[in-house]
């Protein structure tokens, strides 16, 4: 893990894909038997305690990106007969910084890809986020960008100030894919050219450079 520059508060841009259903996905009765996969059973959230199918965060301060991570909360299959089967997806992630540089200004593209670990050959949930971070104005943090990828499951993008716990919800992406049709029909290909959302937040900072308040910034839908 990179050493964090303690002169500035550290922020994180988080993006997650979550299944809002309590149950979703039809299992193949020939390979797994009858049953269902447990969803995240929730709505949009900025809580770091909430589960998701894939998640990632890019941590940064005025100096630029200082760390990134990605993962999954795990998958559970509940068979009609027998014990619950658990698995952990391998979530591939990538971060590419652009050549844009300026006083307190930078851009990056971050991405994640991870499939159902209990279904061999299951297509990945792909997410790509292009973000611009701008600290150029006094006591302001401007964050903007685009999100691309598969339109299933739900998408949420939010900013968090780790020093205060305050957050700004940037994207609330609600899929039109159903609990059973979504995994089968909405995950083919990587969706790299499929625009899911556009976001822009002009966020106030306090005298110490921390997020001044929690907010929702015109969240968009898929």
In a domain, residue 152? The reply is: yes
Dist CA 185 CA 189 (whole Å): 10
Dist CA 50 CA 219 (whole Å): 19
* Nearest alpha-carbon partner for 134 in 111, 159, 156, 171: 159
Residue-by-residue pLDDT tens, the chain, 222 positions: 445 455 556 899 999 999 999 998 765 554 455 788 999 999 999 999 999 999 999 999 988 999 999 999 999 999 888 899 999 999 999 999 987 767 789 999 999 999 999 988 889 999 999 999 999 999 999 999 999 999 999 999 999 999 999 999 999 999 988 887 777 777 888 889 999 999 999 999 999 999 999 988 665 555
Dist CA 41 CA 26 (whole Å): 17
In a domain, residue 117? The reply is: yes
In a domain, residue 105? The reply is: yes
Helices (H), 68-222: 181-185
In a domain, residue 32? The reply is: no
In a domain, residue 56? The reply is: yes
The domain containing residue 168 runs over which residues?
11-20+43-74+89-220
Dist CA 77 CA 174 (whole Å): 24
Count up the domains in the chain and report the number.
Answer: 1
Chain center to CA of 76: 20
In a domain, residue 81? The reply is: no
Whole-number pLDDT of residue 30: 45
pTM score, whole prediction? 0.90
- Residue 31 CB coordination number (10 Å): 9
Dist CA 53 CA 127 (whole Å): 12
Whole-number pLDDT of residue 185: 73
In a domain, residue 143? The reply is: yes
Radius of gyration (C-alpha) of the chain in whole angstroms: 18
Whole-number pLDDT of residue 113: 97
* Nearest alpha-carbon partner for 164 in 11, 3, 62: 11
In a domain, residue 157? The reply is: yes
């Amino acid at each position: 893990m990179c050493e964090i520059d303690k002169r500035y508060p550290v922020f994180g841009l988080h993006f997650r894909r979550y299944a809002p259903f309590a149950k979703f996905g039809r299992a193949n009765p020939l390979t797994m038997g009858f049953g269902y996969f447990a969803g995240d059973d929730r709505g949009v959230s900025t809580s770091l305690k909430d589960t998701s199918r894939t998640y990632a965060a890019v941590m940064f301060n005025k100096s630029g990106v200082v760390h990134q991570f990605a993962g999954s909360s795990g998958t559970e299959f509940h068979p009609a007969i027998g014990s619950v089967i658990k698995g952990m997806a391998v979530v591939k992630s990538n971060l590419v910084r652009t050549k844009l540089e300026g006083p307190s200004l930078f851009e990056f593209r971050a991405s994640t890809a991870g499939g159902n670990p209990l279904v061999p050959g299951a297509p990945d949930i792909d997410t790509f986020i292009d973000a611009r971070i701008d600290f150029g104005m006094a006591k302001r943090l401007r964050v903007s960008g685009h999100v691309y990828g598969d339109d299933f499951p739900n998408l949420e993008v939010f900013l968090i100030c780790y020093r205060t716990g305050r957050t700004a919800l940037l994207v609330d992406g609600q899929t039109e894919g159903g609990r059973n049709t979504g995994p089968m029909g909405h995950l083919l290909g990587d969706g790299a050219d499929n625009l899911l959302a556009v976001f822009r937040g002009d966020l106030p900072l306090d005298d110490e450079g921390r997020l001044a308040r929690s907010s929702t910034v015109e969240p968009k839908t898929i």
